[in-house]
Amino acid sequence: MSQEPLFPLGQFGFLINPLDRAAHIRADADRLVSLEGDPASRAYVIHRDSLLLKQEGAAIRAALTIKEALAAGANSGTIFLGLRDTTPYFGMGMPKETTDVPAGYALEPLRNLANDGRIPPAELSAIATAKSLVHWHQRHGFCPNCGARTVMVHGGWKRDCPNCKSEHFPRTDPVVIMLVTDGERALLGRQKHFAKGTYSCLAGFVEPAETIENAVQREILEEAGIVCTDVRYYKAQPWPFPYSLMIGCTARAVTTEIKIDHNELEDARWFSRSDVVQMVAGTHPDGQRTPTGIAIGYHLLGQWASEAPAS
């Protein structure tokens, strides 16, 4: 008989997207203009790593009208995210130098909103799409081929260069994040910017012409000096900081002596299963903990901690 998981390992952040991306509309410039002018249309407004919110008493609202977004300082260029039922949704950005917003509005870090549950899970993925695309446009305003300024087309899903006719599409950076174990221990590390006491699975970018399996093995060897094998795929998570896809994996350690690359990690060590159980539950006596439940690393660790120890 299967047992209930020891920890609540439900859907992590940025997975549930209620929008129909409606890609067939992107090339219809006249229709996009019409949808943008529709009073029913809504927009998610991004400023750096924060989301613009409308304050309504004690409540907040993330989906603004286009008029509200513009009045609060959003750029006029809008990115078509898709349809929710029949309601059009757009992504909009604010100038990076913005420091203040009008009364009745607030800027809140997206990580905080995702962690504290003030934004419904069904909205987070649509907001993540807006954030990823807004940041991509803000960073890719010039053609990498000839240096000319590019223009946004196809509802924000492409930039064209009018000079050399190059086409540029939004990027997604693949990142492997892996739980490496050697029986009853898990290899975890921390970077300097992590919250105090937080340890997580090691992670790194997939390099050109590299498989997921090769990336897992290379990153673990480079960062911690551990040789691993038996790489298995777990799940993936869109991660809008700024536009990554976290590819969750597990692997088995072949060697156990840790040699830390301090350019990458502040610390790395082996943790027992009982340690990880307490860290995921937030009850570790030394205050050590895992990432929060929005992150795939939490679920990789929670899944392993919930398994019965090997006999």
Chain-centroid distance of CA 60 in Å reads: 22
pLDDT of residue 306: 86
| 195 closest CA partner among 111, 290, 298 | 290
Q: Which domains does the chain have, with CATH numbers?
A: 23-137 (3.90.79), 140-171 (no CATH), 173-305 (3.90.79.10)
For the whole model, what pTM was predicted? 0.92
C-alpha–C-alpha distance, residues 51 and 104, integer Å: 14
Q: Coil, strand, or helix at residue 302?
A: helix
pLDDT of residue 16: 85
pLDDT of residue 7: 46
pLDDT of residue 71: 95
C-alpha–C-alpha distance, residues 16 and 126, integer Å: 8
pLDDT of residue 99: 87
Structure tokens at 240: 């809008």
User: What are the b/e assignments for 62-96, b being 16+ CB within 10 Å?
Assistant: bbbbbebbbebbbbeebbbbbbbeeebbbbbbbee
pLDDT of residue 245: 97
pLDDT of residue 4: 46
Task: Provide the residue-wise pLDDT of the chain in tens; the chain has 311 residues.
Answer: 344 444 455 568 898 889 999 999 999 999 999 999 999 999 999 999 999 999 999 899 999 999 999 999 999 789 999 999 999 999 999 998 998 999 999 999 999 999 888 898 889 999 999 999 999 999 999 999 999 999 999 999 999 999 999 999 999 999 999 999 999 999 999 999 999 999 999 999 999 999 999 999 999 999 999 999 999 999 999 999 999 999 999 999 999 999 999 999 999 999 999 999 999 889 999 999 999 989 999 999 999 998 867 55
C-alpha–C-alpha distance, residues 300 and 235, integer Å: 9
